[in-house]
Amino acid sequence: MAERDGVDVILEQWRRERPELDPSPIGVIGRISRLARELEQRLEAVYRRHGLEPGWHDVLATLRRNGPPYQLRPTDFSGQLMLTSSGTTKRLDRLEQAGLITRGPDPDDRRATLITLTEAGHQLIDAVTEAHLDNERDLLGALTADERRQLADLLRRLQLGLPAL
């Protein structure tokens, strides 16, 4: 028999208390939810060791992976980070104060602003990325490479199949 976790207990309780219901979705959704919280804590620990505050990694990594000149408009961030514009602004304010990004006018559109990764931000995100990927590999250590690909495919299908809000 497979190992049991807290979600197994929840499923048993629902089956006992409401046998007419099918609680099986909890087996997936409950585990994804719990796992997301646990993974986030373990990811944030690596970020903190590199001096990053919560949420900073996503902004710096977004700029870095978009390639030279490592610039984006605030609206591009909102879409890629799935944050509200006010949430994005607060993060950008803190990152700018830390000297990891700059904000300036867009030469192609006077009404727009460009967020640019500074050299310090570039160096920091490059250093953190290696540690971050090593951490993610460790977190997935219970799965084989084939299982990781299979899980990634299933999660992609689940995400793309979600009904629109």
Does 66 score more than 80 pLDDT?
yes
Confirm whether 145 is domain-assigned: yes
Contact partners, residue 73, CB within 8 Å, separation at least 6: 106, 112, 113, 114, 115
Residue 148 falls inside a structural domain:
yes
Please check whether residue 122 lies inside any domain of the structure: yes
Residue 134 falls inside a structural domain: yes
User: Looking at the domain assignment, is residue 48 inside a domain?
Assistant: no
For residue 141, the domain's CATH number is: 1.10.10.10
Instruction: Output the pTM of the full model.
Output: 0.83
8 lies in some domain:
no
Longest dimension (CA), the chain: 65
pLDDT at 74: 80
Average pLDDT over residues 88-100: 91
Domain count, the chain: 1
Q: What is the pLDDT of residues 44-57, one digit of tens each?
A: 999 999 999 888 99
High-pLDDT (> 90) share of the chain, %: 77
Q: What is the pLDDT of residues 12-33, one digit of tens each?
A: 999 999 999 999 999 999 999 9
Question: What is the separation of C-alpha 72 from the centre of its chain, rounded to a whole number of angstroms?
Answer: 19
Domain for residue 157, yes or no? yes
Asked whether residue 140 is domain-assigned, the answer is yes
Closest of 40, 3, 5, 42 to residue 26, by C-alpha: 5
**Cis amide bond preceding 25, omega within 30:** no
Confidence of residue 82 (pLDDT cuts 50, 70, 90): low
Average confidence score pLDDT of the chain: 92
Mean pLDDT of 145-150: 97
| pLDDT band per the 50, 70, 90 thresholds, residue 84 | low
| Range(s) of the domain holding residue 127 | 53-165
pLDDT at residue 27, rounded to an integer: 96
